[in-house]
Amino acid sequence: MIAFYGMGLLGSNFVRALRERDETVHVWNRTASKAKALEANGAVAFEDPAEAARGAQRIHVTLSDDAAVDDVLERARPGFDEGVAIVDHTTTSPAGTAERIRRWADRGIAFQHAPVFMGPMNARHGTGYMLASGDRDLFDALEPELAEMTGKVVWLGTRPDAAAAFKLMGNLFLLSMTTGVIDMLSLAKALEIDAKEAVSLFDWFNPGASLPARAARVLEADFHHPSWTLAMARKDARLMMEAAAGADIDLAVIPGVAAEMDRWIEKGHAHDDWTVMAKDALG
C-alpha cells in the first residue's frame, strides 16, 4: 500500500495513475476536499496524516517546499510502519534535502529524494523525467516502482543532494528560457509585430538545436577567439532595450544581461567572446 501526501495537480495525477495500476493508495492533503475528490478514483482519503500512513510500504510526497515536507512528515511519523520508505518528489533546497535524508536515516527510515521534470499530464501518463541520487541500494530497490511513474528515471550518483541540485539548475534554465520568450514578445510588441507572427520565428530558427554546442563552447573557455565579441553582443542588447523603451515597454531578462556585460567590459573583455561572462562560474 502507498500513502501519498499533497494532492495538487502533480500529486493527484500520480494517484490517478497509481490507481489505474490497481495500487492501493491512501491520500492526504492540507485542504481535505482535494484528497476526498480522489476517492472517485478509488483512493482512500484521510484527514489525519498519521492515519493515512498506517500500513504503507512507501510514503510519497509532492508538497510545496522544505518547510511543508518537514511539517507533514513529522505529523505522519506516528503512523509509519517498520521498513517504510519515503519518496519525496518536492522541489526542495539541496541543503535542506541533505539534512532531511540524514535526519530520517538517524531514525532508521529510508528517504529517497526524487524530484521531477514533469507536468500534471506527465504524471497522469507516466512520461517526463524523474531524478534520483543518494543511497544506491535504496534506489535500486525503489527503481522498478519509480520507473512506472515516469518516462525516464535519471540516476545522478551517490551525493545525497545531487537530484535537488540538478532540479534547481533545470528549473533555472526553464525560468530563464521562458522569460526570454516573454522578452521577445515584449520586443515584438514594441516593434509592432503581432505575437503569433513573432513566434513564427521558431518555425525556421531553432535555438534549442544549438544548445549542446553553445554549452560546449562555454566549457572550452576559449574567450580569446570570439565568434561574437562581448562589445557587439552588448550593442545588440542596447538596441533591444532602446526599442522597448521607445514604446514604454519593460524587458525582464535583457537589462540584467546588459548589466553583467557592462561589468565584464569594464574589466577589459570587450573584444573577447561574449561567453567570457562565464569565467567566474567556470573557475
Same domain, 89 and 181: no
* pLDDT attached to residue 8: 96
Domain end: 157, 180, 212, which one? 157
Same domain, 22 and 141: yes
Same domain, 41 and 105: yes
Angle at which helix 9-20 crosses helix 136-149, to 10 degrees, equals 80
Same domain, 103 and 190: no
Residue numbers in the chain where pLDDT is lower than 70: none
Same domain, 52 and 98: yes
Domain end: 157, 177, 199, which one? 157
Same domain, 192 and 97: no
Return phi, psi of residue 224, to 5°.
-90, 0
What is the CATH classification number for the domain harbouring 172? 1.10.1040.10
- Residue-number span of the structural domain to which 67 is assigned: 2-157
Same domain, 139 and 30: yes
Domain end: 124, 157, 190, which one? 157
* Nearest to 169, CA basis, from 22, 74, 281: 281
Residue type, 52: A
| Residue 270 to residue 128: CA distance in whole angstroms | 41
* Nearest to 62, CA basis, from 7, 121, 129: 7
Residue type, 24: T
* Nearest to 8, CA basis, from 81, 66, 64, 55: 64
Same domain, 7 and 24: yes
* pLDDT attached to residue 283: 87
| Residue 41 to residue 99: CA distance in whole angstroms | 35
Same domain, 32 and 109: yes
* pLDDT attached to residue 271: 98
* Nearest to 26, CA basis, from 10, 8, 106, 6: 6
Counting the structural domains of the chain, the total is 2
Residues 275 and 217 sit within 8 Å (Cβ to Cβ): yes
- Cell triple for residue 31? 485542504
Same domain, 144 and 184: no
What does pTM read for this prediction?
Answer: 0.94
* pLDDT attached to residue 147: 98
